[in-house]
Amino acid sequence: MKIKGMVAFSLALAAMPVLAAQGEVEIDLVTARIEIADRDHPTQMLAAEELEKHLALIAGERRPSKDGFAFMIGSKAPDGKDAPEWTSLAEITPNAVYFWGDDTKPQKPNKRNKVRNGSLFAMYGFLEKVLGVRWVRSGDDGIICKSVKTVKVPLDWRYSFFPPLELSTIRAGSLKLPWNDKWEKFAPLPLRISAETGMRRSKDESLWMLRQRHQSRESFWYGHAFDRWNRKYIHSHPEYLALDENGVRGNPKGPEYDGKRIHLCISNPAVQDRIIADWLEGGTNRYLNVSPNDSRKHCRCEKCRSWDADLPDEDFLMHKSDRYVKFWNILISRARMYRPDVQLVAYIYANWRLPPRRERIEHPGNFIGGIVPSIYEDSVPLIDAWVKRGVKRYFVRPNYLCYGCAMPRGLERFLFEDFKANFSQGMMGVYEDARRRGRVMDFERYVLARAIADPTLDFAVVETEFLSQFGAAAPEMGEYYRRVRERGEAARLEIVKKSGGRRIKALDDSLLSGSAFAGHTEADLDGDLAVIARASAREGLSDAERRRVRGMRLVVEHAKLALRFVAFSTAGHADADFRKAGEELLAFRLKHGKEMEENWGALFRTYPVEVRLWIRMGLKRMFPEISGL
C-alpha cells in the first residue's frame, strides 16, 4: 500500500465510530456528519442547523468526515417504526443516530396551522438526554453545555416524544414586520432597542420554545373577540353595545376608538343574530370564538341585569358569570343547528371568572373555556367549580408572566406546582400570556417551559438544571434564589389571607406587582447582594458563568433602587428625597440598560407601580420623545 493511501485509510479509520464496550458506541463529535433526508423541508433543515450549532459549541471544533458517525435527520432507523401523528422518535445504531417523526407540512401553513416538528424534537431530545444540553433562557447565552469531543451512548438508546398538551404556548412577542413593541414608546430613547434587535429577540424566544419542544396539537383562535364592534356599529347599531352607568352605549368617539374596552348587550337577540351571521359568512369554522372584551364595562340594561345572579346588595362588578354562561348556551344551541361539532371558545376571566351560581354549560362537548385564574387564589378549586357547572374541555390562560415590575418575585415553585396541579386536573392545554423581560423572569419562565414539555418533572430537578448555568457558583446562586422564593411565597400568601382568597375585580396584568414590593426590604436585598458577591468570588468560573452572575447582581441592585423610589413616594418622605431616588434609578437604567436587556417601557408604564411616579417626576419633560405617559 502506498504511503498516501495508508494515510487516507488511517484518517478514515479514525473517523469511524468505536464500539467502546459491549453495548456501547463512542461518537466523535468533531468528525460526525449530518445527513438530511429532505432539504426542502423547513423542520429538517432547522434540525440540521441547530445540531451543527450545538455540536460546534460542545466539541469546540467541527471537521465532519464522509466516513464519520452519521446523524440522520428525517430518516427512519433501519428497524424503526413509522412515527404516529405528532410523535418524535430517535434511535442509535453502531454507525448512526436516526431522528424522525411527524414532519407533516400543511398545504397552506399559517400562524395556527404550522409545520410539525417530529425530526427537530427528536434531535433536541438527543441533545438533552445524551449530551446534557439545557436551554435556560432564549438566545445563545441561554445554551448550557459541557465541552466534550466524544460521547459514549448505549446501543439500546431510544427516544420518543409526544406533546402532552393539546395547546402549549408561552407568548413570545411579535414577529411581524415592520417590528413594533407597544412598550417601546414609554421608554426614553437611550433605552429603546432597534427593530433589528427586537426581531432578533422575538425570534430567539420562538426558537427557545422549539428547543423546549412546545407545539400545539390543536389550532383555534381565542382572545377578545369583539374589539371591532364599536368601530363597526357605534353609529349604525349602537343597541349592539353595552349600556353603561350613564345611559350611554358604546363609545361615541367613533371608529378610531380601540373597542377592546367595549362590551356588548349580550341579551339583545340582534347581537346573537349578528354573531351567528358573521360565523356563517366566514364558512362555519369548527371553532367560534366569543370571548368577551377586556374591562368591566358590562351592559347595565334591564334584560342583561336579569341574567345576573347577584347576591343582595352585591356590587355590580363582583360576579358576571351567569349572564355570560346563558349567552354562550344560546350561541351554542344556535350554532349546533348548522354544525353539530362546533366548539364555542370563550375566556373565563376577570369578574366572570368565578363559577356561575344559577346557570351551567348545557352542551359540554361544544364548549372550550379559557380559564384565567388570579395569581392570588388557588386555581384548583376554581377549575373544579367550573367543571361541576358543565365545563368539560378547558385550557388555562394565566397572566402570571405579564409582570412589569423591577423586583424579583420568587414565585417559580408556586407557578411550577400550580401548573402540575392543573395538568393533573385534566386541562387540555395552557397559554401563558407574557411580556418580554430580562433576567428578572428567567427562572419562572424556565420552570413553566419545562413543565409544559414534561409535567412529570420534579421541581428539584428543574432547579438543578437552571442553576447549572452558574457553574461552580451554583450553590451560592441557589441560596440567592431560595432567599427570594421564601420571601415571595410568603408575601403572596399574606395578600391571599388579607383578601380572603377572593380578588374578584383584580385584573392580574395590572396588579401582579402587589406581592413583589410587599415582600422585600432593602435589608433583604443587601443580604441577596452579599450572597451574589460570594458567588462572584468563586474560582474556576468561565467568562459566561461570571457574566450570568453579574447579570443577577444588576437585577438586585436595580430592584433596590426601584424599591427606594417607590418607598420614598409615600407620605412622610420629603419630595427632595423622592426625586433623588428617581434620579438615581434613572441614572442606573441609562448606564446598564442595554446590558440588562430589560423591557424598559413596561417598567416605566406599568400601572399601578411606576407610571404615576414618573409622571410626578416629570419624565416626559426630560425625554419629550416619550408618548402616552
pLDDT of residue 591: 97
pLDDT of residue 461: 98
Q: Tell whether the model's pLDDT for residue 199 goes beyond 80.
A: yes
Domain boundary among 119, 146, 162: 162
Residue with the three cell numbers 382572545: 223
For residues 438 and 468, the model is more confident at 468
Q: What angle do CA 40, 43, 44 make, to 5 degrees?
A: 65
Task: Please indicate, yes or no, if residue 416 is contained in any of the structural domains.
Answer: no
As a whole number, mean pLDDT of residues 276-282 equals: 94
229 and 150 in one domain?
Answer: no
- Minimum mean pLDDT range among 11-15, 336-340, 518-522: 11-15
Q: Which DSSP string corresponds to 169-231?
A: EE------SS---TTGGGS-GGG---HHHHHHHHHHHHHHHHHTT---S-----S---TTHHH
Q: What is the mean pLDDT of the chain?
A: 91
Is the bond leading into 238 cis (omega within 30 degrees of zero)? Answer: no
pLDDT of residue 10: 37
Domains in the chain, number: 2
Task: Please indicate, yes or no, if residue 345 is contained in any of the structural domains.
Answer: yes
pLDDT of residue 295: 80
Residue 262's nearest CA partner among 278, 273, 251 is 251
Q: Tell whether the model's pLDDT for residue 155 goes beyond 60.
A: yes
Task: Please indicate, yes or no, if residue 170 is contained in any of the structural domains.
Answer: no
269 and 154 in one domain?
Answer: no
> pLDDT tens digits, residue range 390-399?
999 999 999 9
Q: Which pTM was predicted?
A: 0.93
Task: Please indicate, yes or no, if residue 128 is contained in any of the structural domains.
Answer: yes
CA distance 334 to 328: 10
> pLDDT tens digits, residue range 455-478?
999 999 999 999 999 999 999 999
Task: Please indicate, yes or no, if residue 573 is contained in any of the structural domains.
Answer: no
- Domain boundaries, position 66: 13-162
Report the percentage of the chain scoring pLDDT > 70. Answer: 91
**Using an 8 Å Cβ cutoff, are 352 and 291 in contact?**
no
233 and 125 in one domain?
Answer: no
CA distance 165 to 215: 8
Task: Please indicate, yes or no, if residue 54 is contained in any of the structural domains.
Answer: yes
235 and 147 in one domain?
Answer: no
In this prediction, residue 19 has a pLDDT band, given cuts at 50, 70 and 90, of low
Residue 28's nearest CA partner among 37, 36, 20 is 20
34: domain CATH number is 3.30.379.10
Task: Please indicate, yes or no, if residue 469 is contained in any of the structural domains.
Answer: no
234 and 128 in one domain?
Answer: no
All three cell numbers of 320: 358576571
In this prediction, residue 501 has a pLDDT band, given cuts at 50, 70 and 90, of very low
Q: Tell whether the model's pLDDT for residue 175 goes beyond 90.
A: no
Domain boundary among 396, 424, 446: 396
112 and 256 in one domain?
Answer: no
359 and 235 in one domain?
Answer: yes
128 and 257 in one domain?
Answer: no
Burial class (CB in 10 A: 0-12, 13-18, 19+), 579: middle
CA distance 170 to 137: 13
pLDDT of residue 519: 85
Q: Tell whether the model's pLDDT for residue 604 goes beyond 90.
A: yes
CA distance 93 to 575: 72
pLDDT of residue 510: 57
Q: Tell whether the model's pLDDT for residue 20 goes beyond 70.
A: no
Q: Strand 343-348 to strand 367-371: parallel, antiparallel, or no bridges (unpaired)?
A: parallel
CA distance 267 to 320: 13
pLDDT of residue 179: 61
Q: Look at residue 74 and give its three-state secondary structure.
A: coil
Q: Tell whether the model's pLDDT for residue 438 goes beyond 80.
A: yes
**Using an 8 Å Cβ cutoff, are 262 and 293 in contact?**
yes
Maximum average pLDDT range among 17-21, 92-96, 169-173, 432-436: 92-96
CA distance 318 to 298: 11
CA distance 575 to 617: 10
> pLDDT tens digits, residue range 89-122?
999 999 999 999 999 988 776 666 788 999 999 9
